[in-house]
Amino acid sequence: MNDITTFIFDVDGVLTDSSVHITSAGEMLRTMNIRDGYAMKAAVESGYHVCVISGGSNEGVRVRLQNLGITDIHLACPDKVQNFNEYIKIYNIKPEQVLYMGDDIPDYHVMQLVGLPTCPQDASPEIKGISTYISHKEGGRGAVRDVIEQVMRVQGKWMAYFNGKYD
């Protein structure tokens, strides 16, 4: 965790609990955890790269993430590996500096490329099998906060952020 400079997250099953509420108009609504959002904002404001790569295309998700200060939001991505490779090239990030949290088969190949593949406790068996760290929290229930907080604590930035000191 000492070398992590970048967090990349999937949306459904990671930032959400995989549930979709469908309105009578057919709109799909997702629920996100406030504590996950708080940690993502802390990471952004502490100088980490934070990126979201998702196969989904809900614009409400984009608005929520932008409100947290996240600018690298890739929705409706059929090929997460391609998006990952483009992202790290743009920012000159080494794959070993990346923590990626995914939960299901669409995340499998990109997770094999990163330094710290992680997943929520309720991820699919295939994803758990390739994860270096499995959060004790479920997707949409604090798993994102768990990994961000752990990395920032190891690097001495968690409480420094709250004390107004950005190391």
CATH number for the domain that contains residue 83 = 3.40.50.1000
The answer to whether residue 164 is domain-embedded is no
70 Cβ contact list (under 8 Å, min separation 6): 40, 44, 50, 51, 52
- State the residue range of the domain holding 21: 6-157
pLDDT at 165: 58
pLDDT in tens, the chain (167 residues): 899 999 999 999 999 998 888 888 888 888 899 999 999 999 999 999 999 999 888 888 999 999 999 999 999 998 999 999 999 999 999 999 999 999 999 999 999 999 999 999 999 999 999 999 999 999 999 999 999 999 999 999 998 888 875 54
Element (H, E) at 154: helix 143-154
The answer to whether residue 88 is domain-embedded is yes
pTM here? 0.93
Q: How many domains does the chain have?
A: 1
Closest CA to 52 of 40, 42, 39, 35: 40
The answer to whether residue 162 is domain-embedded is no
The answer to whether residue 53 is domain-embedded is yes
The answer to whether residue 35 is domain-embedded is yes
